[in-house]
Structure 1
């Protein structure tokens, strides 16, 4: 399997325009929450007061993968994903209409924001070539935040070296 650096560098190669990356800070969390909302029905059971749903199972598997790739980022992702579940479960407990509207609405709006970013980028989304990009996207966003805060400098440098330089919006449009 590919390493954390391999996964993030491949994903980053599709995201070199700063505006596209900015759209991912909004769109990806919306999409992740939407999936958690939509998968929070049906209730499969209850373990120690925790509702067992498809959302919990998918989140647990995804977090296990993140932890396998990198323990510190995996722990951070698990905490963020748990927060998403804490928001998703009450929405799923509402009427079917509210549950569907919130889940589908977040999903569609998140993807619209993503596609605007990729129009600016001038490149298709990473998942078109590798479906693993759908799982790496949320990790990419969190890693970018960690990098912006000055963390994981060696990892950031390795990814940037492989992916190439970032472009501002003006550079991306060829209007240096």
Structure 2
């Protein structure tokens, strides 16, 4: 398994234009929420031992657990943060499952479609194809990339940022994007 730095540097090589990164701040969360929403049906309520609470067991939960385990293997702190974000997405996705089927599908498919429009506009500006075209692992690294870019913008993880930029170069501040790493 590649290291956190290796995964992020490989993904970052496809994302050096600040406008592309900005579109990813919108598109990737939409796509994650769409996938979680669409995979939240069907679900089964599973009683929690020693509690009056139940757990909504769904394909979305299983995918989120597998993703969280992967993120935790890459980095404990980022893995915990990603796990919390996935838990929030699961909560929203589960709430959307109670809508009538048409509304549930509308939200899920609508978020998915619009999220990908943002992605492809960003890659048009970048002048480069999306990372997942060359390596499917890019589909799971994308959400982690967005989170780490947000942390970089907050001045956190400077060593990781410097290592990635030393390997793939700094973000190009093209266009009128206010979001630049």
TM (normalized to structure 2)? 0.92
Distance 1:112 1:58 in 2: 24
* 3-state secondary structure, aligned to 1:169: coil
Paired position in structure 1 for 2:97: 92
Runs of 4+ in 1 over 3 A off after TM superposition: none
Paired position in structure 2 for 1:141: 146
Paired position in structure 2 for 1:70: 75
2:12 is the counterpart of 1:12: yes
Question: What are the Cα deviations for residues 38-64 of structure 1, in whole angstroms up to 9, with x where unaligned?
Answer: 000011442421100000000000010
Q: Is the 8 A contact 1:20 1:118 kept in 2?
A: yes
Instruction: Give the gaps of 5 or more residues in structure 2.
Output: 49-53, 176-181
Instruction: Give the gaps of 5 or more residues in structure 1.
Output: 171-176
Paired position in structure 2 for 1:36: 36
Indicate which of 157, 167, 174 corresponds to 2:172: 167
> Could you say if the C-alpha distance between residues 47 and 70 of structure 1 is closer, same or farther in structure 2, counting changes exceeding 3 Å?
farther
Distance 1:163 1:45 in 2: 46
- Counting helix residues as a fraction of each chain, which structure ranks higher? 1
Distance 1:146 1:168 in 2: 18
Q: How many residues align?
A: 170
Q: CA RMSD in A?
A: 0.9
